[in-house]
Amino acid sequence: TDELLDQVSHQVYRLMMLNVPYRQPLNYKDELLKQAANDYEKIRRAYNGLFRKLEEAGEVEAETNDVIEALREEFVSAMSDDFNTANAITAIFKAVKLANIYVREKNPPYKEMKSLLKHFSDFLWILGIETGIKPLTEEEKDLINRYRQARKEKNYELSDTLREEILKRGLEL
C-alpha cells in the first residue's frame, strides 16, 4: 500500500477501493489505478467548475428539481443497499455530467446548480473524497476579473501575464 500511495494521491487510492464491493477481494491491476486517477480528475474538475461558477454568481437560493432529487435518491439507495459504493459512484458520475452541462450553459439555472452543489458535496463527503477547492479571496477574484477583461479586450500580452500569475497561485477557473 505504501508503494502505491507513493505513485498516486490518497484520493485516487480511495476511489479505486470504493469501486470494489467491500465483501469482495480486490484483484489489483495497473488499469484499475489509471481508471481511478482518470475518474478522480473528472470528479474534481466537474465539482470545482460548479463551485467556481456559483462563486462567481454570488449568493443564490438552492432550488431542487426532479433530476437532482433522483440523483440524491439513487445515491442514498446505493449506500442503503449494503454500502454499495460502486453504485453510489455511478450516481456521482451522473452529478458530474449534470454539473458539466450546467457550467457550460449560457444562462445557467443558478438555483438548481446550488442544489446540485450541495448534494454533490454531500456525496463526496460521505465517501471521503476531497477536491481541494477553496473560496477565492477578494485579491484572487480581482486577478481573475482582470485576466478575463484583458482577454475580452484582446490584450493577449496582459492576459498571458495574468494567466501565468493565476497558474502560479494554483487557482482553478
Decide which of 171 and 15 is more confident. 15
Which band of pLDDT confidence, cut at 50, 70 and 90, is reported for residue 4?
A: low
What is the residue whose three cell numbers read 484583458? 150
Nine cell digits for residue 15: 476511489
Residue 46 is predicted with a pLDDT of 97
Q: Mention every residue, 6+ apart, whose C-beta is less than 8 A from residue 144.
A: 136, 166, 171, 173
Q: Is the dihedral of CA 29, 33, 36, 42 positive or negative?
A: negative
Nine cell digits for residue 1: 500500500
pLDDT tens-place string over residues 53-94 = 999 888 899 999 999 999 999 999 999 999 999 999 999 999
pLDDT tens-place string over residues 110-138 = 999 999 999 999 999 999 999 999 999 99
Nine cell digits for residue 28: 489489483
How many helices (H) and strands (E) are present in the chain, helices listed first?
8, 0
The full length of the chain comes to 173
